[in-house]
Amino acid sequence: MNTGQLVIVGVDMGATHIRICLLSPDGQVLVTAKERSLPVVENGMAEGLAGFIGRFIAERGAGVAAVMIGFPASIARDRKRIMSTPNLPCAASEFVDLADNLARRLQCPVAFERDVNLQLSYDVSERRLGDKLVLGCYLGTGFGFSVWLNGAPYVGAHGVAGELGHIPLGDDAARCGCGNKGCLETLCSGVALARWYQGAARDYPLSDIFTCAGDDSYITGFIDTAAKAIATGVNLFDPEHVLLGGGVMDMENFPYPRLIARAGDFIRKPLPYEEITFAKASSSAFNGAIGAARMARRIMLPAT
Ligand SMILES: [Zn+2]
C-alpha cells in the first residue's frame, strides 16, 4: 500500500468550497488546498470524498493515519452520525454510514465534527487558550457558536450543544432552516442580511452594506440582536474569552466596537463583564481544515 510516511488529514466541507490539510505526525502543515464542493461530491458523497482525499495522499506517496471532516451540520455524540445539513447540496441519504464507508475506503479511522468547533479549535490552539473557557461566535451564513470547555469543544449529551443560532430570539412568524419558528437566525445571519439587502433597490453592492448603510435602523437592530445573542452565551457560560468571526463580521467596516459595546450592555455586572475579553477570530480560509487535522492528531491517534 503506502511506502512513505503516514499523514493526518483534515477536511473542511463547506457548501461552496471543500478544503483539505495534510499534517505530519509531529504537527507540521504539509499541504493545504481547496476545490469547489459540488464537483467533488455530485456523483456520490463517499466516493467523491474518498477520491478527493486519496488524490492528495497519492501525490505525497503517503499513507493515512486518521481523517477528520468538518461539516456545517448537527453531528451525533459518536462524532460519526450526521443528523442535519441544511446548507449542503446533498441528499440526507448520502450521509448514512458515511464515516464507516470512508474508513473502509481509506483504511483508517474517520470522524466528523461540526465546522465551528474546528474553527474554534484552530483559534484556541493559535492563541494558546487550550486551558481557558472560550466562546466562538461566528456570524456567517448562519450564526455559528462553539464552546471550548475543559480542553475540547463542549458537545453536550447528544452531540448538538451550542446551537445559539436557534435560540428563540428571532422573527416569531418566520420559519428557520432547522424547521422551527422564530430562531435567532431568521433575524441575525448572513442569509437574513442578504434578504434585507435584496428587499429594495440599493445603490451599493452587498459587500458595502456596513459602509453605506451602517446607520440604517435595520443594521443597528441587526447588530443589537447579535449583541443580545452573544451576551446570552456569555451569561450562560461565564467564559474568559470570546472570539468573534465569520463571513459577515469579516465584511468591510463591520462595526466591531458597537457590537462589543452593545453586548456589554447585556452582560451581567460586575462579573463576567469586568473580566471578559473579546477578540477577532482569525479569518484564513484554511482554519477549519487545519483545525480538523490538528484535532484528529490530538484525539484519534494512539498516544505515543
Ligand atoms: Zn432554527
User: Can you give the pLDDT at residue 74?
Assistant: 86
Q: How far, in Å, CA of 95 to CA of 106, rounded?
A: 16
Distance 72 CA to ligand 1 centre (A): 14
Q: What is the pLDDT of residues 20-59, one digit of tens each?
A: 999 999 999 999 999 999 999 988 999 999 999 999 999 9
Distance 185 CA to ligand 1 centre (A): 7
Are residues 23 and 150 located together in one domain of the fold?
no
Distance 140 CA to ligand 1 centre (A): 15
User: Can you give the pLDDT at residue 4?
Assistant: 60
Distance 57 CA to ligand 1 centre (A): 38
Are residues 183 and 289 located together in one domain of the fold?
no
Q: What is the pLDDT of residues 133-151, one digit of tens each?
A: 999 999 988 899 999 999 9
Are residues 162 and 80 located together in one domain of the fold?
no
Distance 225 CA to ligand 1 centre (A): 15
Distance 73 CA to ligand 1 centre (A): 12
Q: What is the pLDDT of residues 78-109, one digit of tens each?
A: 999 988 776 677 788 888 899 999 999 999 99
Cell matching residue 124: 484556541
Distance 183 CA to ligand 1 centre (A): 5
Are residues 172 and 238 located together in one domain of the fold?
yes
Are residues 173 and 102 located together in one domain of the fold?
no
Mean model confidence pLDDT for the chain: 93
Is 41 among the domain residues? yes
Is 304 among the domain residues? no
Q: Where residue 1 falls among pLDDT bands split at 50, 70, 90?
A: very low
Helix axes 98-106, 45-60, angle to 10 degrees: 30
User: Can you give the pLDDT at residue 3?
Assistant: 46
Distance 170 CA to ligand 1 centre (A): 9
Mean pLDDT of 60-73: 92
Distance 300 CA to ligand 1 centre (A): 31
Side-chain half-sphere exposure of 130, counting CA atoms within 13 A: 9
Cell matching residue 8: 493526518
Q: Give residue 31's domain range.
A: 6-117+285-299
Q: Which residue has the cell 479549535?
A: 121
User: Can you give the pLDDT at residue 304?
Assistant: 53
Tally of structural domains, the chain: 2
Distance 34 CA to ligand 1 centre (A): 29
Mean pLDDT of 147-161: 94
CATH number of the domain that residue 272 is part of: 3.30.420.40
Is 1 among the domain residues? no
Are residues 139 and 165 located together in one domain of the fold?
yes
Q: Which of 107, 95, 77 is nearest to 2 (CA)?
A: 107
User: Can you give the pLDDT at residue 248?
Assistant: 95
Are residues 265 and 144 located together in one domain of the fold?
yes
Distance 165 CA to ligand 1 centre (A): 7
Q: Where residue 15 falls among pLDDT bands split at 50, 70, 90?
A: confident
Distance 89 CA to ligand 1 centre (A): 18
Are residues 291 and 276 located together in one domain of the fold?
no
Q: What is the pLDDT of residues 168-211, one digit of tens each?
A: 999 999 999 888 999 999 999 999 999 999 999 999 999 999 99
Distance 177 CA to ligand 1 centre (A): 6
Are residues 73 and 58 located together in one domain of the fold?
yes
Is 205 among the domain residues? yes
Q: How far, in Å, CA of 188 to CA of 191, rounded?
A: 8
User: Can you give the pLDDT at residue 43?
Assistant: 87
Distance 281 CA to ligand 1 centre (A): 24
Distance 55 CA to ligand 1 centre (A): 37
Distance 128 CA to ligand 1 centre (A): 32
Is 180 among the domain residues? yes
Are residues 71 and 171 located together in one domain of the fold?
no
Cell matching residue 37: 464542493
Distance 184 CA to ligand 1 centre (A): 7
Q: How far, in Å, CA of 261 to CA of 263, rounded?
A: 5
Side-chain half-sphere exposure of 109, counting CA atoms within 13 A: 16
Mean pLDDT of 252-258: 97
Q: Where are the alpha helices (DSSP H) in 30-185?
A: 37-41, 45-60, 98-106, 115-126
Mean pLDDT of 259-279: 98
Is 124 among the domain residues? no
Looking at the predicted structure, is the pLDDT value of residue 2 above 50?
no
Are residues 141 and 107 located together in one domain of the fold?
no
- Overall residue count recorded for the chain in this entry: 304
Percent of the chain scoring above 90 in pLDDT: 81
Are residues 108 and 238 located together in one domain of the fold?
no
